[in-house]
Structure 1
């Protein structure tokens, strides 16, 4: 999220400008104001904005048709809500394209019907705001929502352990499953250092290995150490992403059942710790060593690592006949064939004319001496 400058405006996260573009409207003091961030892989054209909305056209990829995104923050005062209603009606008349409106909306039912915007439904908790008070003072309401002119997107309410508002996840495209990867390289994980038993595992492993006398034994010892750490990590940490999903579901279950505040707080703390593990995991994979571990910008690290992997991924290869291949097996076979041919000697070429132009520097006597068997004296001189 952005920071506040002394003049009240919003700043982009430190370092994130390499991966995020941004636009914002000034706040009033330390409250209010809107900020819109988008990934560099998207093309976003901000059309209009004020202190209550940002209207933009979004293109996911080159050649794809754009869709419209309007982020709104509804008027809190009842007597001023007609201003936002009129604004949405005007925006509705400006373009005929897929349209998504997302943000805080109160008493918008009539204007949504006029604009042809429907609630596409959602997954998750039935509210997006919780004031975290106990008893009869607790307020849970669906303040924030997403509406669209067609059911072309999916909406999910994500529990947020450190906010009174739930995050709204908007899924606009069907994500393709990543291709099956080969054997993964084992590596040391920084997040292991969050557990004090790591040092015990390392000490016990080196003690069991005993003294290592040469580099071969050291290399084997390091392999054994990494295998022991991986086994320990699977039992101690498991799959971080899966554990986050389980913990989020557990927190959502506690919140939906109005569980005891102590249980909710424990689930919150557990989710926060797992999110910190995820941050360190992505930080390590992002090759960004100029940000400290405590900067807590997980999305930046994740996007940087994923975008680098996406740019390096080969999606299509064209063979000698001009036929494009997209499936993993065909591209792997083409790559293997190409490099095999590249590094194989061409039998149709004769090197003799070129070799004849080079003056010989090794005589027959020298060649006999070089090809002779090693003598005992030569071996002794080399060893002792």
Structure 2
């Protein structure tokens, strides 16, 4: 284990681990212990555990020390512990509220670190002065932060709090493994496919395969067949782009080291190829992030990737408490409960007197309006509606965006 002695009655840290943890480095400072470790199925990680000072002046120095040390810890890291500070008015309950200016320092520090707070389950006020009178004060002094890379590796991570009678601080328990069954990834039409040679031939061949049944069934089967064909075709280059970026970057580094003998044509062609690969990666993550307020080229793929991961974590349903106070925390239990709830909600128990009530409601749709509504829709009207849709917003259940139908309109329009 690693130990940092307290100063008087303040501070002090102890970090222990078992034989399942392989420790590479241990760094002990007056207010933190940082370890580089590896575990089964977990990439090499830096974990830092802090106990910051109650003095604002000393805390500012400690923030600077953490900012400096972060550059040595790499991209896969998390930091948690007692920060002895808050960053919003919601982090304190009781007595006199703190001024906004007094919280600005901690907010600026967390922004500079470029880390995201790990979501917390349980009582968010992790410290209490234990004065159960009018002088009661509760604050969120303990929390954890993680880098984008760490959050990508642990998308379901969370911190739970546990109140200890012997301490004025709650215990923080970091959960990094997902206890729920992994769901099958959902298909989504990849915008980058349109830039690849052969995509039109693959799509046309799959779409033109003979199908039989009702018009709607034929359309559904053609979309399904095309989706499977595109998946099979794209499997060979699914990770090709990232490998290409890594290889071209190494190649350019080597050419730069030997610039006196560099083949400049080779340099220029490699640079153009690398730029195209970066562009392709950016397009992919922009589509995944569904960021409408930025255009392609405004930012890099790292931003879009982080935005996507954050949006997925925010939208994830990790547990549900039923009306019987039963906690559902596995994917199957959550899915079953939601299905049962809405099945019961939308089940009719019969009605009485509906016809007589409907007769009293005046008709809003005239005969002429009804004729217009029943009129056969022509090709130009369908095309105008389709091309008015945003190409990449909200794909349907089949995973096909409007971009797919817009790009292959000439092929698919007979069935549509």
TM-score clears 0.5: no
Give the shorter-chain TM-score range. Answer: 0.3 to 0.5
Higher RCO (C-alpha under 8 Å, 6+ residues apart): 2
- Relative to the length of structure 1, the TM-score reads 0.40
